[in-house]
Structure 1
Amino acid sequence: MLNPNIWRSQQRDFHWQGLRIGFHDEGQGPVLLLLHGLPGSSWDWYRLWPMLTGQFRLICPDLPGCGDSDKPTEYSYRLNDQAQMVLALLAHLGIEQCQIVGHDYGAGIGMQLLNTDSNIRIGRCSWISARRGGDARYFLWRELWLAGPLGQLLSHCISEGLYGRYLETLSGPFTPISSQTRQDLWQLLCAHQGLQVLPQLLHYRYELPLSSETSMASNNAQQFIDGEYDPLSRHNRSNGSLWIKTGHFPHLEDAEHLAMLLTEFHRGHDAGSQAVFQNLRNGE
């Protein structure tokens, strides 16, 4: 497993509107933009990384307020602001077209990108454990409290133990997240006083599209992937999702299965790409 400190040291810097944004850009092939969930960071994709870099050029930022990017308290963290940062990063890298994989919060930002005018052409999109707006059922009670008027005060009560139990609640019974991974995720959450902006980030729940709006967001080919044991996805049975035997974090719980689904969708049923993936599974 790649050490998270090595991962962080290999980040590149992008400066946007006075903010330092950390990001990774690696691999060759079609551009695949990876947008992480909340609370999370680009490190969330570490298990998928070696399975996808041989087939795609992967670009994944630590979104403002997350990971090693700046986390100012005087910032709105609206989905549109995050989407504008992503577009600026892609333009900075000379990207003219890309496909998107978004998990949780990142799916919300990805859907915002589809509804934002830009010169960047967006192709196929995969939404992993995407939440819906207008319904508190898609959020845990502790998330609702943090997004409420007492969120700033409650953020000071979050401990590593509470965060670990939060991850356990959302992960599947047969695909637990290891204690080491939980510890790594906690350190990235707390980096640069990240807990203090978590309530502001969670305000995104008021901006999410409703289920019907999501399905009609654009003409882009869209793939929905949900975990069978995700307590936040049990309301999605009618949205045509692909179901994987995990909880809310398929990329951390069953990265191999998820990589196969993403490869088949974003590269098509190409024999060459499937052979590369099979070799990775066999450790070749």
Structure 2
Amino acid sequence: MALAEIPLCIWRKRSQTFDFRGQTIRYWTAGQGEPLLLIHGFPSASWDWHYLWQPLAQRYRVIACDMLGFGDSAKPVNHEYSLLEQADLQQALLAQLGVEQPVHLLAHDYGDSVAQELLARHYDSQIQIASCVFLNGGLFPETHRPVLMQKLLLSPLGWMIGRAFSRDGLVKSFHQIFGPQTLPTESEMDDFWSLIESNNGPRVMHKLIGYIPERRVQRDRWVAAMQRGEVPLRVIDGEVDPISGAHMVARYRELIPNPDAVLLSGIGHYPQIEAPCQVLKHYLAFRDQQMLPPLKVACS
């Protein structure tokens, strides 16, 4: 059964705001129960989660924000964007909402890196993470395969490329990374573009793309945190994603002890948009698995 979408116009009306270091951040929260923090990717926004929002809110207290430089949040031009600051933002949002118990994470793409940082901070006793599920993202810099637009944004001409970025460019990029049978509709492309264009977003895209070299700097710390094995982890990954698809999962299985990874056949880089029912099924199964009592072994 298909999951009901939340139209972007409705999604925007449900947002709230808070101040983060002098910048206005848009956020959403719904439901009750254990806190579940949803962390979106590049170059989109928290609306990426709209298919999963209501079903997850029936079981958990779901929380999400448009990170600094994304969606309908502030996009300051004279700012050095950092994944570490985005992790600070997530912690500030939890503090704003009075969340003190351990937090579950569900992240995608750029958000995977923010979640990796939060996981590392868990082991530094700066936050309590109860579990973490990654959707398609560059968990390992050595397996990340950026598309042409990302490479251009990283170049010395990135500031020009970003300012010239258009809906047509977004369509071209998304058609490269979605599954062949799950391409976004024209209406969805309008909504994705609306969120990127909001607050003159193309002016900061070349600054946001700095997350790619930042991942290389933090790689060993983040991989070590994933290898600790004390926080339950799962990867749910669109197999045909050229950026972080099956090849990334193969590396995950090489490096992570007792790896828990699910590959979605025919699905690309945005599984929560392309196959939300499958993502929901595998996410809930993961969470239910954590609630099972440990097996008792009889000895004779």
Query: Could you tell me the TM-score, scaled by structure 2's length?
Result: 0.85
Structure number with bigger Rg: 2
**1:21-32 map, 5 Å:** 21-32=25-36
1:109 to 106, 110, 114: 114
The change in CA–CA distance for 1:256 and 1:266 in structure 2 (over 3 A counts) is: same
- SS of aligned partner of 1:191: helix
The corresponding residue for 2:262 is: 242
Cα shift readout 1:56-99 (whole Å, capped 9, x = no counterpart): 11000000000110000122211111111110110111111210
The corresponding residue for 2:69 is: 65
| Bigger proportion of residues as helix | 2
2:153 to 143, 146, 156: 146
The corresponding residue for 1:214 is: 223
Rounded to whole Å, the distance in 1 between the matches of 2:290 and 2:97 is 29
- Offset, 1:113: 1.1
- CA contact under 8 A between 2:37 and 2:63: conserved in structure 1? yes
The change in CA–CA distance for 1:137 and 1:268 in structure 2 (over 3 A counts) is: closer
- Offset, 1:132: 3.9
**1:14-93 map, 5 Å:** 14-93=18-97
- Offset, 1:118: 5.4
TM superposition outliers: structure 1 runs of 4+ over 6 Å: none
The corresponding residue for 2:193 is: 186
The letter for the 2-side match of 1:205 is: I
Cα shift readout 1:159-200 (whole Å, capped 9, x = no counterpart): 211111111110001222221111101000000001111111
- CA contact under 8 A between 1:143 and 1:202: conserved in structure 2? yes
- SS of aligned partner of 1:115: helix
- RMSD value over aligned CA atoms? 2.0
Rounded to whole Å, the distance in 1 between the matches of 2:282 and 2:224 is 20
1:228 to 229, 234, 239: 239
Rounded to whole Å, the distance in 1 between the matches of 2:53 and 2:68 is 21
Query: Could you tell me the TM-score, scaled by structure 1's length?
Result: 0.89
- Offset, 1:107: 0.6
Determine if the alignment matches structure 1 residue 266 to structure 2 residue 287.
Answer: yes
The corresponding residue for 2:257 is: none
Q: Which runs of 5+ in 1 are unaligned?
A: 272-284
Question: How many correspondences in the alignment?
Answer: 271
The letter for the 1-side match of 2:247 is: H
Rounded to whole Å, the distance in 2 between the matches of 1:197 and 1:253 is 27
- CA contact under 8 A between 1:35 and 1:107: conserved in structure 2? yes
Rounded to whole Å, the distance in 2 between the matches of 1:39 and 1:108 is 14
- CA contact under 8 A between 1:36 and 1:44: conserved in structure 2? yes
- CA contact under 8 A between 1:99 and 1:266: conserved in structure 2? no
- SS of aligned partner of 2:38: strand
- CA contact under 8 A between 1:13 and 1:21: conserved in structure 2? yes
Determine if the alignment matches structure 1 residue 202 to structure 2 residue 223.
Answer: no
